[in-house]
Amino acid sequence: YYCPKLITVPLFNTQNVTDMGSMFNYCTNLTTVPLFNTSKVINMNNMFYYCPKLITVPLFNTQNVTNMNGMFYVCSNLTELPIFDIRSVTNIKDMITGTQITKITFKNKPANLEITPEILGKPDVQITFI
């Protein structure tokens, strides 16, 4: 959290981590992150909040994540995301607000979760579910 000099992140063991909320919040010079083991993560709330130089994100295992609120909020250089599995998500508000993303695809949409461009924080985004 709040590491403005951080540019890249080394791969470290995250196999037992359940909460990555705000982990890289305000890391304003962060450009890339490695593919962490996120199989047990439940919370990714604001994980990359205000990381304007972030340009790529790997395909994290998100099948157990319930909170993706503000995950990429104001990641203004981000143009695309991998296809995240959102089967457990209950909060996805403002996930891509302030990004350059124009299309997003999700896997395993929960029946009880409304997902609209406005909820994602990007009124012009095209949403696809597979």
The count of residues in the chain is 130
pLDDT per residue as tens digits for the range 1-58:
899 999 999 999 999 999 999 999 999 999 999 999 999 999 999 999 999 999 999 9
The answer to pTM > 0.85 is yes
Percent of the chain with pLDDT over 90: 99
Q: What is the mean pLDDT of residues 101-123?
A: 97
CA distance 71 to 44: 6
Percent of the chain with pLDDT over 70: 100
CA distances from 93 to 33, 61, 66, 113, 116 (A): 23, 19, 12, 11, 9
The predicted pLDDT at position 1 comes to 87
